[in-house]
Amino acid sequence: MKRERKELLLSIWYIIRLAGWYSIRLAIAYDYVSDHIDEIAERILTLGYRPLVKLSDYAQNATLKEIDSKRYDVEESLNIVLKDFSELIGQLRNIIKLAQEYGDEGTADILIGSLKEFEKDSWMLRATLS
């Protein structure tokens, strides 16, 4: 085994032992959401429009509620993420339907892939919480 790969695996194992598997999964979900935002922005540009770029614009147009800046235990954190994912799933279903009504199958296809990921992550969060 190459030294770098072994060090990477040991680092991952250390993080799992220190922070728990849920931290790794949430980090993966965060990366997915970040990639999803980029993909949607590229789609908006492809269709000839301009995506939001400023954080203040996103905050102004957000539908998810902000939470207080405080320490949350693991169960509270997972429930917050699950609630947000549930809201996103509902919004995605509505937007997919709208995109299909307008014949925009490219956008619908991107969002269907995202919907499947959020549904799977929600299932995993519910399983973790039970």
Q: What is the pLDDT of residues 107-120, one digit of tens each?
A: 999 999 989 988 99
**H/E element holding 36?**
helix 21-46
Backbone phi and psi for residue 35, each to the nearest 5 degrees, phi listed first = -65, -40
Cα–Cα dist 126/124, whole Å:
5
Domains of the chain: residue spans and CATH: 21-129 (1.20.1260.10)
DSSP state letter for 65? P
The predicted-structure confidence for 37-54, as pLDDT tens digits, reads as follows 788 889 989 999 888 888
Look up tokens 């307008």; give the residue.
102
3-state secondary structure of 51: coil
pLDDT, position 30:
64
Find the mean pLDDT for residues 5-34.
56
pTM confidence score: 0.71
